[in-house]
């Protein structure tokens, strides 16, 4: 199979959200801390009728319908998620309800889990399958689904929720440049979920930021090395049109791109002019640890990176800023944002993706766009995504109501023997929702 990659994309996020500005006032933090300090606009969350299973049922059904895909044409289904609903039964098996109904039970794949990286692992599995000898000619389907919720405190405003579905196959308008990949995997306790009775992670916020940037540096070095070996020339940020980052919150994305600029300056790459190289060169003697915490370097590199950030990164930031951290779905929601914003000019462009999952696992990889053919064209993907409409039809909750919902969800996590409010007034037609969890912890869903 040639040009294996992403043929189609669909995203679903809950219609319930809270404005970051309202949260700032409610939490009593200084004005601008969440909106400028973290760079976030709004946060989406699940109420008691939605969860990672209902969101993924909605995203998958919608993708199959809108692109006219017969469920029998799916040969592999992989889910990435770090939201644990069951320690044994995969989310994939819940999604099988869609395919069983259509008479297709011959579908490989289960769930992949490692913090926000599971979706990327699922994606690689599907792409590798289509590129392999075991491929049977059918499509792969990847689902990234997460509800990111934090205990009260500084991490809470970095929550979010969404499910992204990606159809995988040959002759894709978004093709993998599979040879260009750099990974960084290590052991760290930056963010983890050891308390199985709680949905909330244990998080060392500062450490997680450093781990993220360290993994970024390392992946970029590996990526550049492989590119240079295969292409016989140096890679720099000039060689990609867009950079898409896993987005826990936008400020970290700004810092990440500035970090690539710093890397390019130290590598004497052509993307950086001489004056900027000289200024950034002054920081070349810092040790790794020092360079991650040096304020002057951070400020200077962000300043130098600004025009390139506006061109190559800003178009990827819409959904992560509006929806929040979607864990496994964050990177692919950022990716969907660039399709939404730039679909008519993307053909021929290269996009570099950076996936990070705490604990930690990270990979930088590369994709190449072409126009594609209907229904798998960039224009049609943008039409199906319908980002503006999905954002506009949301319903804003007050911070008080958001906190109340979080409390209810804390009680419901891991619980049995309850029926939900079944209040589906805010859901759009076609959305799946949770109706009941019975005494044997079996979950039941319905479709609006």
Binding site for ligand ACO (CB under 6 A): 30-33, 36-38, 116, 154-155, 158, 191, 203, 205, 208-209, 212, 248, 251-252, 358
Is residue 436 part of the annotated active site? The answer reads: no
Least distance from C-beta 293 to ligand ACO, angstroms? 10
| CA nearest to 41, candidates 207, 247, 199 | 247
Q: How far apart are CA 410 and CA 387, in angstroms?
A: 30
Least distance from C-beta 327 to ligand ACO, angstroms? 7
261: exposed, middle or buried (C-beta count within 10 Å: 0-12, 13-18, 19+)?
buried
Taking the least distance from each CB to ligand ACO, the nearer of 75 and 359 is 359
Least distance from C-beta 160 to ligand ACO, angstroms? 10
Q: How far apart are CA 305 and CA 278, in angstroms?
A: 15
Full 3-state SS string of the chain: CCCCEEEEEEEECCCEEEEHHHHHHHHCCCCCHHHHHCCCCEEECCCCCCCHHHHHHHHHHHHHHHCCCCHHHEEEEEEECCCCCCCCCCHHHHHHHHHHHCCCCCCECCEECECECHHHHHHHHHHHHHCCCCCCCCEEEEEEEEEECCCCCCCHHHCEEEEEEEEEECCCCEEEEEEEEEEEECCCCCEECCCCCCCCCEECHHHHHHHHHHHHHHHHHHHHHHHHHHHCCCCCHHHCCEEEECCCCHHHHHHHHHHHHHHHHHCCCCCCCHHHHHHHHCCCCCCHHHHHHCHHHHHHHHHHHHHHHHHHCHHHCHHHHHHCCCHHHHHHHHHHHHHHHHHHHCCCCEEEEEEEECCCEEEEEEEEECCEECCEEHHHHHHHHCHHHHHHCCEECCHHHHHHHHHHHHHHCCCCCEECCCCCCCCCCCCEEEEEECCCCCEEEEEC
- Residue from 246, 298, 340, 343 carrying the catalytic annotation: 246
Taking the least distance from each CB to ligand ACO, the nearer of 79 and 116 is 116
Q: How far is CA 426 from CA 50, 103, 184, 263, in A?
A: 11, 32, 42, 46
Least distance from C-beta 34 to ligand ACO, angstroms? 8
Taking the least distance from each CB to ligand ACO, the nearer of 49 and 252 is 252
Taking the least distance from each CB to ligand ACO, the nearer of 23 and 174 is 23
Taking the least distance from each CB to ligand ACO, the nearer of 303 and 345 is 303
Q: How far apart are CA 359 and CA 192, in angstroms?
A: 7
Taking the least distance from each CB to ligand ACO, the nearer of 104 and 302 is 302
* Long-range contacts of the stretch 409-413 (C-beta < 8 A, 24+): 409/46, 409/48, 409/149, 409/199, 410/198, 410/199, 412/48, 412/437, 413/197, 413/198, 413/199
Taking the least distance from each CB to ligand ACO, the nearer of 33 and 350 is 33
Is residue 246 part of the annotated active site? The answer reads: yes
- Residue from 17, 116, 126, 219 carrying the catalytic annotation: 116
Is residue 116 part of the annotated active site? The answer reads: yes
Least distance from C-beta 24 to ligand ACO, angstroms? 8
Residue nearest to ligand ACO (CB): 37
Taking the least distance from each CB to ligand ACO, the nearer of 36 and 403 is 36
Taking the least distance from each CB to ligand ACO, the nearer of 304 and 437 is 304
Least distance from C-beta 295 to ligand ACO, angstroms? 8
Least distance from C-beta 30 to ligand ACO, angstroms? 4
Least distance from C-beta 128 to ligand ACO, angstroms? 25
Least distance from C-beta 216 to ligand ACO, angstroms? 11
For the annotated catalytic residues, the residue numbers are: 82, 116, 246
């Amino acid at each position: 199979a040639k040009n294996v990659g992403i043929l189609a994309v669909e995203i679903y996020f809950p219609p319930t959200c809270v404005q970051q500005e309202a949260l700032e006032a409610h939490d009593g933090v200084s004005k601008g801390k969440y909106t400028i300090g973290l760079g976030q606009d709004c946060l989406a969350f699940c109420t008691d009728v939605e969860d990672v299973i209902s969101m993924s049922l909605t995203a998958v059904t919608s993708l199959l319908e809108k692109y006219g895909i017969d469920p029998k044409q799916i040969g592999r289904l992989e889910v990435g998620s770090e939201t644990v609903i069951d320690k044994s039964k995969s989310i994939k098996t819940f999604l099988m309800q869609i395919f069983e109904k259509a008479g297709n039970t011959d579908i490989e794949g289960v769930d992949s889990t490692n913090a926000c990286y599971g979706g990327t692992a699922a994606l690689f599995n599907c792409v590798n399958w289509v590129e392999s000898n075991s491929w049977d000619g059918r499509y792969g389907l990847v689902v990234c689904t997460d509800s990111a919720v934090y205990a009260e405190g500084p991490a809470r405003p970095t929550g979010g929720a969404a499910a992204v579905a990606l159809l995988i196959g040959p002759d894709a308008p978004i093709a993998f440049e599979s040879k260009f990949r750099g990974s960084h995997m290590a052991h760290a306790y930056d963010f983890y979920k050891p308390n199985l009775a709680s949905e909330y992670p244990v998080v060392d916020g500062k450490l997680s930021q450093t781990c993220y940037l360290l993994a970024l540096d390392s992946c970029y070095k590996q990526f550049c090395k492989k590119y240079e070996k295969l292409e016989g020339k140096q890679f720099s940020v000039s060689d990609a049109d867009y950079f898409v980052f896993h987005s826990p919150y936008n400020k970290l994305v700004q810092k990440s791109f500035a970090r690539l600029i710093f890397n390019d300056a130290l590598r004497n790459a052509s993307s950086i002019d001489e004056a900027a190289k000289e200024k950034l060169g002054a920081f070349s003697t810092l040790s790794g640890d020092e360079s991650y915490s040096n304020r002057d370097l951070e400020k200077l590199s962000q300043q130098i990176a600004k025009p390139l950030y506006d061109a190559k990164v800003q178009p990827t930031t819409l959904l992560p800023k509006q929806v929040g951290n979607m864990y496994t779905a964050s990177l692919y929601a950022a990716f969907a944002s660039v399709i939404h914003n730039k679909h008519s000019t993307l053909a021929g462009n290269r996009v570099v993706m950076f996936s990070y999952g705490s604990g930690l696992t990270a990979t930088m990889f590369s994709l190449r766009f072409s126009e594609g053919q209907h229904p798998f064209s960039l224009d049609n993907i943008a039409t199906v995504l319908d980002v503006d409409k999905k954002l506009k039809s949301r319903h804003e909750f007050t911070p008080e109501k958001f906190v109340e919902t979080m409390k209810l969800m804390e009680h419901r996590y891991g619980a049995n023997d309850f029926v939900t409010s079944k209040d589906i007034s805010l859901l759009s037609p076609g959305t799946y929702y949770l109706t009941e969890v019975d005494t044997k912890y079996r979950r039941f869903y319905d479709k609006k």
